[in-house]
Structure 1
């Protein structure tokens, strides 16, 4: 295989963009495991007191992730995220105002491999979320497993990440101060197994828990689509029924974490590696869908609202697709 090396004369700006994305990919794939190793290793050194003190703090701070977390404006506003934004680049697109006296559930689509658009737009200030939606505080849901990793839990909380369980979301949605936006990657980890260039298939048809949650708390539903998210990585072929897909689905059910075999480019060459391609992402935030609060909604009520949500998501996709490099003959497919 011929290797396409990056030119030596690249501007410093582009090198800093690549470095920013490299640290993000490392954080996503290996930082939690690294933090666990460090926590345990310190116990067998003269610095054991660090792990002991952290363990005491961790015990008393155990419930914080499920109670809104602990975000850091300093870290969310870091210049690192602006370099990451410009690498692709990533743009946040507003289509309607959001009332800060309401709470919201954003349905984020598609999940993609590493949910680059969702992270950059909602866990950092790089794309100007608070300028576009003043008075709204975004919280992106992440697998609860990662909040059990020492040190790493504090890092992800600083970006506004909270566990993806009903209790954590409900804590924010029942907050009387309002202005909270819970962002759910509805397709979740299983959807990442179908994330590849040109894919417009969403795992949504039977995903109704977020709709029920919205009705129970009277939170408006907001469809969000990141055009370009699936263009960032190639993936080893894993069609339904293949041995690879069978193994991936079994591991996903056992661990809760999907393991897509993805690849794209490297740091110093463009032929292979785990860095995403430099492809633009446009995250379009749709109009809010008004939800009537009902603490005990019927199955029919949930189904109706779920159908309305899918129709609005399709409308959002169709209205914007040609502006964002999607062929006119492409449409969303729900499974």
Structure 2
């Protein structure tokens, strides 16, 4: 039985999503402008002291950051979750005595499902998978932005080898590093009714899983591509070339755009191989793609997709 939302609840949910979108797009830029502006005012010592602190603290993001339960449990994230709504679906147990690399698909426009499911605690990950700590990995460049980096470190980490290696080898057991495998390239293929994932040439996460003996877990967010309608530019067109140029410079792609369920699949047991061969990487990469495809086809009908709907892996 569903409870009808009040106008006040709907308004709060809309504002919660709006603040997240605006933060995603503008908060980093605003922080840079603010700190530079302060340098030319009587408050210049604040900026100076912060930049000195930032240099001294430069490597903290790659050493686990400063995970803050307070921020991850903000009430605003519950309203954000309810707006869509987003639901975390458990398909099997995750052993808290192991470490994991969760591959999240698809990227979508802003990876809203990944953020709310793993970057906050609003979907109840700790209750669904007791003893396992999720950490969403995002663009490493974002942690170079003054002030903004402090906000990000409350629950996110850079998607760099140093950062991931720390979480998988120096932070005990029960760590689940969440990587949006397709990245910016996959975001350009995001559109309602289309389920395309960029995985075939993405093998770095498999190599890292082998190096640290972390089990691989496919994750598929049904509805991620339905959240926004973007304009898809054909390959070779001026619009697509400008998007690709922006992606190359900035690390993410700008998109024009006018109920998500995140399903966590079964883990693929991975041995620890300090120097895995290409054949070993290819073997586990193939197992991962097969598991991802199985997860998609097993649950697609539950989320309104027709039985003949395909998952395109490119």
- Provide the TM-score with structure 2 as the length reference: 0.96
Q: Hey, what does 1:221 align to over in structure 2?
A: 216
Secondary structure of the residue that 2:153 maps to in structure 1? helix
| RMSD (Å) for aligned C-alpha atoms | 1.2
For 2:48 and 2:15, the matched residues in 1 are separated by 33
Partner residue, 2:47: 51
Q: Distance in 2 between matches of 1:11 and 1:256?
A: 39
1:125 counterpart (121, 125, 128): 121
Q: Does 1:86 align with 2:82?
A: yes
Partners of 1:250 and 1:19 lie apart in 2 by 32
Unpaired segments ≥5 residues, structure 2: none
Q: CA deviation at 1:56?
A: 2.1
The correspondence of residues 177-188 of structure 1 with structure 2, limited to 5 A, is 177-188=172-183
Q: Which runs of 4+ in 1 moved over 6 A?
A: none
Cα deviation, 1:163-215, whole Å, max 9, x if unaligned, reads 11111111111126111111000000111011110111111111111001100
Quote how far apart the aligned CAs of 1:25 are.
Answer: 0.1
CA offset digits 1:61-84 (Å, max 9, x no partner): 110100111111111101000000
Residue 262 of structure 1 deviates from its aligned partner by: 2.1
The gaps in structure 1 that reach 5 residues or longer are 1-8, 264-279
TM-score of the aligned structures, taking structure 1 as reference length: 0.90
1:74 to 70, 74, 77: 70
Counterpart CA distance in 1 for 2:265 and 2:292 is 8
Q: Would you say 1:310 and 2:253 are equivalent positions?
A: no
1:136 pairs, out of 110, 132, 137, with 132
Partner of 2:96: 100
2:298 corresponds to: 319
Other structure's SS at 1:262 match:
coil
1:200 aligns with 2:200: no
Name the CA distance, whole Å, in 2 between partners of 1:124 and 1:321.
25
- In 2, the alpha carbon distance for the partners of 1:182 and 1:237 equals 30
**What does residue 37 of structure 1 align with?**
33
Paired residue total: 310
> 281, 285, 290: which one pairs with 2:269?
290
* Matches of 2:250 and 2:110, distance apart in 1: 17
Rate the CA distance shift 1:176–1:63 in 2: closer, same or farther, 3 A.
closer
